[in-house]
Amino acid sequence: MQYRTVGDGEHAVEVSTLCLGTMFFGTRTDEETTFAILDRFVEAGGTFLDTANNYNAWVGGHGRDSEDLIGRWLADRGVRDHVRIATKLGAAKKDPALPLSNTPPTNFQGLSGEVVDREARESLRHLGVERIDVLYGHVDDRETPLAETVAAFGKLQAEGIVGLTGISNAALWRVVEAREEARRQGVAPYSLVQQNLTYAYPAPDPGRHGWASPELLDYARSTGAPGRPSLAVVAYSPLLQGAYVRPDKPLFAGFDHPTTHARVRALREVAAELGATPHQVVLAWLLGGEVPVIPVVGASSVEQLDELLGAVDLELPAELRARLDAV
């Protein structure tokens, strides 16, 4: 396993360069299998876990199923000091009886000061920990003043129950403005931004705010210098939920276009030349880019996880990376 530092100064933490996503742990992935996956990840040197307060509600759970399961695993294995836990808040339903919507009329919890404080403390309880290493706003909330959201995250950091803060599914200008607002308030800014990023890329869409655009990556590259607190980019769904290797998996909305199909062909050719899998090549491409990102990988079995772990030490020769980039 390889590692990198996220955050700055007293808030800095070291995490593994692969983050294990736990979205369906406790629902689609049963407890025995989940424990085996978590055990294998830690055995391989993995230290970074990612969850949320609402994931499992999408597949018949109550929402915090994966937080609960991680909490039981931590208590049983006694490994709290060896892992860094990230969770998210703000995207659960505000009214459970209505459909989830983050567009008007909205029905999501949002990022008000009251929600941030309440849901963070609930996550502490469900995880069975005294500190959340990384707390993300799961979606942007333009109905709440940005200053209120930033202050709420800053308060949790000041209390010591949150280490680093971050945001997901937000436009670049909102990320920049939130970090500037933190500077004005004298609190630590967002240290991570979690967006969708993979080898394929979606068709241009001005309304797509969950994509790690080249502009976001360029902004992240400019940070980590004096006066510019560092910002790490975390990539969710880097493997398009298996669509690179499974014909039965449809491409995400916006990804089904000729360039994606050409990139998939190139990806498979490069993987065959390297004796690797397409998934391993995608992850190596992300890890070794000009702006390295932290991929969040999901696995429903130990065998799947072992395949993904193989990407950590896979180096793409310059000529093969250039061929992938040129498509």
* pLDDT tens digits, 235-245: 999 999 899 99
pLDDT at position 239 is: 96
Which residues have C-beta within 8 Å of that of residue 152, sequence separation ≥ 6?
A: 111, 112, 113, 116, 117
Domain that holds residue 8: 3-241+291-316
Answer whether residue 286 is part of any domain.
no
Answer whether residue 275 is part of any domain.
no
pLDDT at position 180 is: 97
Structure tokens at 242: 């298996």
163 vs 132: CA distance, rounded Å: 6
Q: pLDDT tens per residue, the chain (327 residues)? A: 999 999 998 889 999 999 999 999 988 899 999 999 999 999 999 999 999 998 766 666 667 899 999 999 999 999 999 999 999 999 988 888 887 776 777 888 999 999 999 999 999 999 999 999 999 999 999 999 999 999 999 999 999 999 999 999 999 999 999 999 999 999 999 999 999 999 999 998 888 899 999 999 999 999 999 989 999 999 999 999 899 998 888 888 899 999 999 999 999 999 999 999 999 999 999 999 999 999 999 999 999 999 999 999 999 999 999 999 999
- For the four alpha carbons of 132, 153, 66 and 306, in that order, the dihedral sign comes to negative
At 84, which helix (H) or strand (E)? Answer: strand 84-89
* Active centre residues (catalytic): 55
- Cis check for the bond before 250: say yes or no (omega within 30 of 0): no
262 vs 200: CA distance, rounded Å: 9
What is the DSSP code string of 57-70?
GGGTS-S-HHHHHH
Answer whether residue 325 is part of any domain.
no
Answer whether residue 48 is part of any domain.
yes
- For residues 56 and 63, the answer to whether their CB atoms sit within 8 Å is yes
Its pTM stands at: 0.95
pLDDT at position 218 is: 97
Query: Going by DSSP bridges, is the β-strand pair 294-298/162-168 parallel, antiparallel, or unpaired?
Result: unpaired
Answer whether residue 267 is part of any domain.
no
- The phi, psi pair for 27, rounded to 5°, reads -125, -85
What is the DSSP code string of 103-131?
SSSPBS----HHHHHHHHHHHHHHHT-S-
At 309, which helix (H) or strand (E)? Answer: helix 302-309
pLDDT at position 102 is: 67
What's the CATH code of the domain at 33? 3.20.20.100
Overall number of domains in the chain: 1
Distances (CA, A) of 27 to 64, 97, 128, 238: 10, 21, 19, 22
pLDDT at position 59 is: 66
Answer whether residue 124 is part of any domain.
yes
- For residues 237 and 13, the answer to whether their CB atoms sit within 8 Å is no
Answer whether residue 259 is part of any domain.
no
What is the DSSP code string of 230-284?
--EEEEESTTGGGTTT-TTSPPPTTT-SHHHHHHHHHHHHHHHHHT--HHHHHHH
